[in-house]
Copies of this chain bind each other. A is one copy, B any other.
Amino acid sequence: MKEVVTGVDIGGTNTVMGLVDRDGNILAEASLLTADYPKIQDFVNSVAEAINEMHKKAGSVNILGIGIGAPNGNYYKGTIEQATNLVWRGVIPVADMIEKKTSVKVVLTNDANAAAMGEMIFGAAKGMKDFIVLTLGTGLGSGIVVNGQMVYGHTGFAGELGHMVIVPGGRACGCGSHGCLETYASATGLVRTVLLLLSEMREESVLRQIPPAELTAKKVAEAALQGDPVALQAFDFTADKLALGIGNSVICTSPQAVFLFGGLVNAGELLFRPLRQYIDKYVMPWYRGRFEVLPSGIKEHNAAVLGAAALAWNELFI
A residues in contact (CB < 8 Å) with B = 128-130, 144, 146-147, 149, 151-161, 163-165, 168, 175-177, 180, 244, 247-249, 251-256, 282-287, 290-291
A294 CB → nearest B CB, Å: 14
Chain B contacts for A284, CB-based, 8 A: 160, 163, 175-177, 180
Q: Within the complex, which residue of B154, B254, B290 is in contact with A254, where a contact is CB–CB below 8 Å?
A: B154
- A-B contact sample (19 more), CB < 8 A, given A151-B252, A158-B251: A129-B154, A130-B158, A146-B146, A146-B158, A147-B152, A151-B254, A152-B254, A155-B287, A160-B284, A161-B252, A163-B284, A164-B248, A164-B252, A165-B247, A175-B285, A176-B285, A177-B283, A177-B285, A249-B252
Identical copies in the complex: 2
Q: Within the complex, which residue of B154, B161, B168, B253 is in contact with A158, where a contact is CB–CB below 8 Å?
A: B253
The answer to whether B168 and A244 touch across the interface, beta carbons within 8 angstroms, is yes
A90 CB → nearest B CB, Å: 15
Chain B contacts for A247, CB-based, 8 A: 165
In the bound complex, what is the Cα–Cα distance between A285 and B290 (angstroms)? 33
Q: Within the complex, which residue of B130, B252, B282, B283 is in contact with A252, where a contact is CB–CB below 8 Å?
A: B252
Chain B contacts for A153, CB-based, 8 A: 130, 146, 253-255
In the bound complex, what is the Cα–Cα distance between A168 and B241 (angstroms)? 10
In the bound complex, what is the Cα–Cα distance between A155 and B155 (angstroms)? 27
Chain B contacts for A285, CB-based, 8 A: 175-177
Q: Which 7 A-B pairs have the closest CB atoms?
A: A153-B254, A158-B254, A176-B285, A154-B256, A163-B284, A160-B251, A130-B154
**Which of A149, A161, A253 neighbours the largest number of chain B CB atoms within 10 Å of its CB?**
A253
Residues A253 and B254 in contact in the complex (CB < 8 Å), given A147-B152, A151-B146: no
The answer to whether B252 and A159 touch across the interface, beta carbons within 8 angstroms, is yes
Task: Please give me the residue from chain B that is nearest to A155 by CB atom.
Answer: B254
Chain B contacts for A252, CB-based, 8 A: 144, 151, 158-161, 164, 249, 252-253
In the bound complex, what is the Cα–Cα distance between A104 and B254 (angstroms)? 30
A256 CB → nearest B CB, Å: 4
Chain B contacts for A251, CB-based, 8 A: 158-161, 163-164
Chain B contacts for A149, CB-based, 8 A: 146-147
26 intermolecular pairs with C-beta atoms under 8 Å apart: A130-B153, A144-B252, A146-B149, A146-B153, A147-B149, A151-B252, A151-B254, A153-B254, A154-B254, A155-B254, A156-B254, A158-B251, A158-B252, A159-B251, A159-B253, A160-B251, A160-B284, A161-B251, A163-B251, A163-B284, A165-B247, A165-B248, A175-B285, A175-B286, A176-B285, A177-B284
